[in-house]
Amino acid sequence: MEIIEKLREMPAKKRMTAATVFCGLLGLLLILLSSCTDSKQPETSLNTDISALSRAEDYREDTERRLAEFLGSIDGAGEVRVYLTVGSGDRYVYASEGRRITSENRSEEERKYVMTGSGNEKNALVETVENPEICGAVIVCTGGDSAEVRERMYRAAAAALGLPTNKIYVTRKK
């Protein structure tokens, strides 16, 4: 009640200033509260990044396992272990539409992404998700001391992974 009495004792001009300051502080408080409750977007993108990394790791491990199994069937290879290096995670290809305008001296192309959703919830339409690019391979096998076996391993791994042989290393297992 003391606050109300003090407000009544203030001159009108000071009351307006106090009311303006109070409304400003209240507005700032509301903005602060709304930013705290609207934190779903960063968490979602963080979860998406983590799940994308998990998918990339699963893809790498599955490819390593399948390639080791395949290379193990090569004559003289013996026991085989494979380690792959991969580039960045999954690559998203977004649907787009466009038009091309050509005249005598110049060509112009306009592309726009296809969007889904409405209002603030618009997202680009994902056309395809490409697996991470395999950049290199290390193959260790018990028959790796034989030049003939190493050559077979190089050729088979290069064909299976679509890599040049200079990005593949084959060696003998202890």
Residue 41 near residue 123, CB atoms below 8 Å = no
User: 173 and 99 in one domain?
Assistant: no
Let me know if residue 73 belongs to a domain: yes
CATH number of the domain encompassing residue 161 = 3.30.300.30
Alpha carbon distance 72, 99 (integer Å):
51
Same domain membership, residue 100 and residue 174:
no
In which domain, by residue range, is 122 found?
A: 92-130
pTM for this entry? 0.53
Give the chain's domain count.
Answer: 2
Domain membership flag for residue 99 = yes
Do 101 and 79 share a structural domain?
no
Q: Tell me: the pLDDT tens digits for 92-144?
A: 777 777 777 787 788 887 778 777 777 777 777 777 777 778 889 999 999 88
pLDDT in tens, 49-74: 566 567 778 888 999 999 999 999 99
In DSSP terms, 113 is beta-bridged to: 96
Rounded distance, CA 103 to CA 111, Å?
18
**Cα 134 from Cα 66, distance rounded (Å):** 14
Whether residue 40 has pLDDT greater than 60: no
